[in-house]
Homo-oligomer: A and B are copies of this chain.
């Protein structure tokens, strides 16, 4: 068994490129770290291109990945490729999915406009999955959904429903053509629980500091607001998304 021992190995340098959005897009691949997430990717039939394994670890037989190229590395090399503090010994390399055809014809959607924190974006994708949404659209200003921290915060939900990058003005326009009501979120909106649950909808959540882009808000059918009853200035955007999605889906 050959084991990569040098962090200057060409393969190691290639994998490390996948830590940045630019690198992922140039190469067309992304990293999946850890046992639970790799199992979620396998369940979702994501094609794994290469499996990086720490030299003393055994691949769980139930993964049935004997046909996937396997590369063994030392702990030091694994730490170099890993983006977590305590790597679990397995990293999968996957092709970026080509889900450019999320149909905005009917269904329930979450649009994410300029949300920066990977934990927030990941939690929102996880909540969209839990709420049974049809898909998530990531606007151009949001953190990349194939960022390692985002993937970990989705707890695998990234592999459960379509998550597509798209210009949000275009996405709103498509919803309008298909009679899907679009709800923005704004302090100047209506109280959310005055709205009935909806069979089809798109909900737009905005940046942690500045909220949804005003140009987008102007295109929405209605803007919603969660009342603050205490002294907090606002809610966390992921928590606000949870309250609104579960209310709107009914």
Chain A residues at the B interface, C-beta cutoff of 8 Å: 119, 123, 126-133, 155-157, 160-161, 226, 228-236, 238-243, 246, 249
Contacts and interface: CB of A to CB of B under 8 A. Distances in A.
5 contacts: A130-B232, A155-B234, A157-B231, A157-B232, A226-B246
Contact of A132 (B161, B230, B249): B230
Contact of A235 (B156, B236, B242, B249): B242
A230 B126 CA distance: 10
Contacts of A129: 230-232
A231 B160 contact: yes
A126 B246 contact: no
Given A119-B119, A229-B249, A249-B229, A130 B234 contact: yes
Contacts of A233: 155-156
Contacts of A160: 230-232
B127 A236 contact: yes
Given A246-B243, A249-B229, A236 B236 contact: no
Contacts of A157: 230-232
A249 to B, nearest CB: 7
A133 B232 CA distance: 11
Contacts of A246: 226, 243
Nearest to A127: B239
A242 B161 CA distance: 23
Contacts of A249: 229
Contacts of A241: 239
A249 B243 CA distance: 12
